[in-house]
Structure 1
Amino acid sequence: MYTNSIEMVEVSPRDGLQNEKALVSTEDKLALIDRALEAGVRRIEVASFVNPRAVPQMADAEAVCAGLPERGDVTWIGLVMNARGADRALATGRIDQLGAVSVATDTFAMANQGQTSEGSIEAAKGIINAARAAGKIGQVTIAAAFGCPFEGEVPEARVLAMAEALAMAAPVEIALADTIGVANPAHVNRLVTAVRELVAPIPVRVHFHNTRGTGLANVWAAVEAGARTIDASIGGLGGCPFAPGAAGNVSTEDVVYMLERAGVRTGLDLSALTEANHWLADVMGRTLPGMVAKAPAFPKQLQEG
């Protein structure tokens, strides 16, 4: 193992909810963020600043930001696709970090943000520079890094070329996203290792969906390959409106259980995350995909007396 600790990024307020048809209230989004904070999360993707006609769930991005607690120990992340989105996020005065997105294929890039893959790289560079000019920080995710819902297999050489180009803008990290959940552990280990070595000292973050049940295995492979930060969503909620068949993110509580049991510290409270899962299930009106919250606690704590 390369590490005995991992940073977690909670993405449920954005990626977890963005594909849900039933609109979640601003109050419930802020309550979800509060529960993540109570569990120990210190980086949270709170909203995306996109066209509300395209993603109605994110129409209240500014209102969510206005309700965020004043916390000097927390990094609030806003996902943005273009200069307009960056301007909106920065105008809230609450976003600490802009998250840009570059897409590995032209077809998905056009569906996701109305530009080619190369265009998404240039847009991401502009977003990172805008964050820096505003005294904030910028990071970037390479979406569909392990496979595209429209074009199928994505050549690893393409992802490496993108990572190299994006590194020129000096983001604080580069993430590899399995947007549709097609990655396998061998592919993850190979690609994370290659990107990490190529862009060092810029750290690598990973973002996995559990569409085909390989999410946790891919998290483990990424950690072994040197990824330092893991995106996850309470309850395993998630999906992409522009990626057919994309199912939920890896569940925060499932990732924490796996890593902590293996001796890799996350700094998060599993009991609090499980409670957050149950609360969120009530909000959504259904049982959530995460597995740990459905199982008895283990190991059981001995009761005094």
Structure 2
Amino acid sequence: MINSRVGIVHLSRSLSIKHSKESFRIVEVGPRDGLQNEKNFVPTASKVELINRLSNCGFKAIEATAYVSPKWIPQMADHEQVMAQIQRYPSTSYAVFVPNVAGLQNAMKSGKVDEIAVFCAASETFTKKNVNCTIEESLKRLKEVTELAQKNRLRIRGYISTVIGCPYDGKTDPKLVAKLAENLMNLGCYEISLGDTIGVGSVGSVNSLLDEVSKSVPLEKIAVHFHDTYGQALSNVLAAINKGIRTADSSVAGLGGCPYAKGATGNLASEDLVYMLNDVGFDTGIDLEQLVETGNWICTIMDRKNVSRSANALLSLKGVKCNTN
């Protein structure tokens, strides 16, 4: 069994990956998904600087914030200020998460939003606990959001959570995920991100999921979003690559954490993903050195542990201490 990141990278060379400096798209979700569950409020100026730094690293897709009620997610209460103050790179998309029509209307009022992210889950219990309705009802609500978004010429990215397993309902049926992915495509999403919310997936379950989803949706329209709870995130990305997927979500310094999984380390660290993709031979367009510096900076600002192993190793080689609080 291969446990180390290095071992996983070299294992990839035996996979049937066809590329010649082929590009790989990374969606940086740290500013939204990575920060939303933080208990201590991250100052708006720090959020703005984080997004600006990530843009400068070369990311072409960044989840900037969420237009949600401050009552439910206080960390995202400054969405208006964030979107108004960030420095926009012409080649970078700055998506915002919207849970409902009210959130979308607020986002449109700002005049700063051109892409939104919408969400559903492949678990009835998870859906009821998150949005207080059934999966079928949540799709009806999403239809209202996507129709309004399309009328206003906004790009729409879809998320499906709990695609491998749910903390309440157990293992997820891949057929349900495939059906939801097809529904989201029909609602106008240009891409569907499959999220292993509690990080229980490994290569076997990921392969089974993608085989089923590919029957309903072209895999070039699919992205993957893995949490590293069991240390499987990188190998899961490799499994997705071997199926033909060329987009993955990740979070700088591994920011984020799932409140539903005890001991979860949160999102796959962007630094670890870039390090692996560089070694395999993909072109990410990301400056790894700047990314490592950015991750260490935000962890210092937040007094938070940097969980990226690549960042810790590369900083150590420079004699720089990584934040380990």
Q: With the length of structure 1 as denominator, give the TM-score of the two structures.
A: 0.92
The reply to whether residue 163 of structure 1 matches residue 181 of structure 2 is yes
- Tell me which amino acid in the other structure corresponds to 2:162: A
Q: What's the offset of the Cα at 1:197?
A: 4.1
| Alignment-derived partner of residue 129 in structure 1 | 147
| Alignment-derived partner of residue 303 in structure 1 | none
The reply to whether residue 89 of structure 1 matches residue 107 of structure 2 is yes
The reply to whether residue 290 of structure 1 matches residue 311 of structure 2 is no
Q: What's the offset of the Cα at 1:277?
A: 1.2
Structure 2, unaligned runs of 5 or more: 1-16, 319-325
Aligned residues: 299
- Higher mean alpha-carbon deviation, 107-116 vs 135-144, is at 107-116
Q: What's the offset of the Cα at 1:114?
A: 2.0
Provide the rounded CA distance (Å) in 2 between the counterparts of 1:193 and 1:72. Answer: 36
The reply to whether residue 257 of structure 1 matches residue 275 of structure 2 is yes
Provide the rounded CA distance (Å) in 1 between the counterparts of 2:189 and 2:317. Answer: 40
Provide the rounded CA distance (Å) in 2 between the counterparts of 1:297 and 1:29. Answer: 23
| Alignment-derived partner of residue 217 in structure 1 | 235
| Alignment-derived partner of residue 80 in structure 2 | 62
Change (3 A) 1:228 1:123: farther
Q: What's the offset of the Cα at 1:93?
A: 1.3
Q: Deviations over 1:102-149 (max 9, x none)?
A: 111111112222221122222223322222111111121111111111
- Tell me which amino acid in the other structure corresponds to 1:200: P
Q: What's the offset of the Cα at 1:85?
A: 1.2
Contact 1:196 1:226 in 2 (8 A): no
Q: What's the offset of the Cα at 1:94?
A: 1.4
- Higher mean alpha-carbon deviation, 128-137 vs 273-282, is at 128-137
- Tell me which amino acid in the other structure corresponds to 1:258: M
The reply to whether residue 73 of structure 1 matches residue 73 of structure 2 is no
Provide the rounded CA distance (Å) in 1 between the counterparts of 2:265 and 2:105. Answer: 30
Q: What's the offset of the Cα at 1:2?
A: 5.2
Q: What's the offset of the Cα at 1:70?
A: 3.5
1:186 corresponds, among 204, 207, 211, to: 204
Provide the rounded CA distance (Å) in 1 between the counterparts of 2:88 and 2:182. Answer: 36
| Alignment-derived partner of residue 46 in structure 2 | 28
Secondary structure of residue in 2 paired with 1:71: coil
Change (3 A) 1:194 1:157: closer
Q: What's the offset of the Cα at 1:71?
A: 2.9
Provide the rounded CA distance (Å) in 1 between the counterparts of 2:55 and 2:88. Answer: 12
Provide the rounded CA distance (Å) in 2 between the counterparts of 1:5 and 1:67. Answer: 30
What is the root-mean-square deviation in Å for CA atoms of aligned residues?
Answer: 1.9
- Higher mean alpha-carbon deviation, 64-73 vs 11-20, is at 64-73
Provide the rounded CA distance (Å) in 1 between the counterparts of 2:314 and 2:220. Answer: 39
Q: What's the offset of the Cα at 1:287?
A: 2.6
Contact 1:164 1:199 in 2 (8 A): yes
- Higher mean alpha-carbon deviation, 183-192 vs 43-52, is at 183-192
Matches within 5 A, 1:221-240: 221-240=239-258
Structure 1, unaligned runs of 5 or more: 301-305
Contact 1:181 1:208 in 2 (8 A): yes
Q: With the length of structure 2 as denominator, give the TM-score of the two structures.
A: 0.87
Secondary structure of residue in 1 paired with 2:290: helix
Q: What's the offset of the Cα at 1:299?
A: 10
- Tell me which amino acid in the other structure corresponds to 2:91: D
Q: Deviations over 1:61-92 (max 9, x none)?
A: 11111112243211110111111111122222
Provide the rounded CA distance (Å) in 1 between the counterparts of 2:193 and 2:304. Answer: 30
2:194 corresponds, among 152, 176, 184, to: 176
| Alignment-derived partner of residue 13 in structure 2 | none
Secondary structure of residue in 1 paired with 2:314: coil
Q: What's the offset of the Cα at 1:156?
A: 1.0
Matches within 5 A, 1:76-155: 76-155=94-173
Contact 1:281 1:288 in 2 (8 A): yes
Secondary structure of residue in 2 paired with 1:296: helix
Provide the rounded CA distance (Å) in 2 between the counterparts of 1:64 and 1:263. Answer: 35
